Amino acid sequence: MAWTVTYDLEEFRAAAGGFLRTHPARNTTLLTVVSSLTVAGSDRYGDQPPVYGWWTGGGGAVEGAFLCTPPYPPLLSALSGEAARALARTLARDGGLKVTGVNAGRGTAETFAAAWNGLTGAVSTVEQTHRLYRLDALTPPDPAPPGRPRAATTADRDLLITWYEAFARETGALRGDVARQVDDRLGHDGITIWELDGRPVACAGISRTIADMARVALVYTPPELRGRGYAGAATAAVSGAARAAGTREVLLFTDLDNPTSNALYQRLGYRPLEDHLLLSFSSAERAVPEQGHPS
């Protein structure tokens, strides 16, 4: 039983791809980040090369995985306690990767953090608690706000870059080249705009469909247009389009500190699946991490 660590994306996909696809909902962020890196290149999220790894269990099968795209903290699949502690030891020995936090399901994050803190003397802080939701029966807003949905096009690019930059400032959850990230989503019709009288008033993004799974992300309404139902309508539209296209698992994350969004998505038919923690590690030697992964 051991961790294998690599900088080679194709090696990681070949070794761990089957494991990740076995549980696509619970591995949604790992799968979507891998997809983005495959399409847009290894510098999709930053200048430093991504790091990947997989845990081989006693029977020789892959039973866990992680990836790290600096400056974001490592993303971990669900891991056994043994695998989480072994990963902490592996990364603590590797001076090439600056581990400033961890992003994982609650149990795995807490086990890894306890091991990391014991090895390094770091102190863990909960930065965010996210809840993963799975779409059950879609219930669009009733009454719906005025307007209609449409797929974003390259003609919307400048506006979307402005909105994504505003989203990044408000949430801290988007780093790197925002224009490139907009282009990536436009490249697979991954942004739906809610339009009122020809004017875009909100947007909702969605990942590529992987293993019959897609995840809604980057839902945004300009501050002056909030409270009118546009974000909910855009989310319902992009969710319904994914279902109509045959996507079996439609997912999204919320910040548990935002009761408004949690209530909204449950009204739309999303049901809780599991909670994830974004933890930061701080010490005399280590800095507070960037925020959680956007993809």
pLDDT at residue 285 in the model: 44
Residue type (1 letter), 116: W
Token digits for 237?
Answer: 């539209």
pTM beyond cutoff 0.85: yes
Among 94, 142, 96, 141, which Cα is nearest to 119's? 94
Locate all alpha helices (DSSP H) within 121-194, ordered by sequence. 157-171, 178-186
| C-alpha distances out from residue 237 to 38, 97, 188, Å | 27, 40, 16
CB atoms within 10 A of CB 162: 13
Predicted pLDDT of residue 84: 98
Across the strands, what pairs with 274?
A: 132
Half-sphere exposure for 251 (CA within 13 Å, toward CB): 28
Q: Give the pLDDT confidence of 13-32 residue by residue, as tens digits.
A: 999 999 999 999 999 999 99
Average pLDDT for the chain: 93
Mean pLDDT across the stretch 53-57? Answer: 97
143: preceding bond cis by omega (within 30 degrees)? yes
Kindly report the CATH number that applies to the domain delimited by 134-273.
Answer: 3.40.630.30
User: Angle 124-125-128 (CA atoms, 0-180°, nearest 5)?
Assistant: 135
Window from 35-44, 51-60, 135-144, 184-193 with minimum mean pLDDT? 35-44
What confidence tens digit (pLDDT) does each residue in 228-257 have?
Answer: 999 999 999 999 999 999 999 999 999 999
CB-based burial, 72-102: b 16+ in 10 Å, e otherwise: bbbbbbbbbeebbbbbbebbbeeeebbbbbb
Measured distance CA(76)–CA(107) in Å, rounded? 11
Of 184, 181, 194, 197, the residue nearest 241 (C-alpha): 194
Calpha distance 11→6 (Å, rounded): 8
For residues 163 and 178, give the distance between their C-alpha atoms in angstroms, rounded to a whole number: 10
Percentage of the chain beyond pLDDT 90 is: 84
CATH 3.40.630.30 residue ranges for the chain = 134-273
Instruction: Say yes or no to pLDDT of 76 above 70.
Output: yes
Whole-number Cα distances in Å, 288 to 92, 181, 201, 228: 17, 24, 35, 36
Write out pLDDT tens, residues 254-290: 999 999 999 999 999 999 999 999 999 997 443 334 4
Q: What is the CATH number of domain 2-130+275-282?
A: 3.40.630
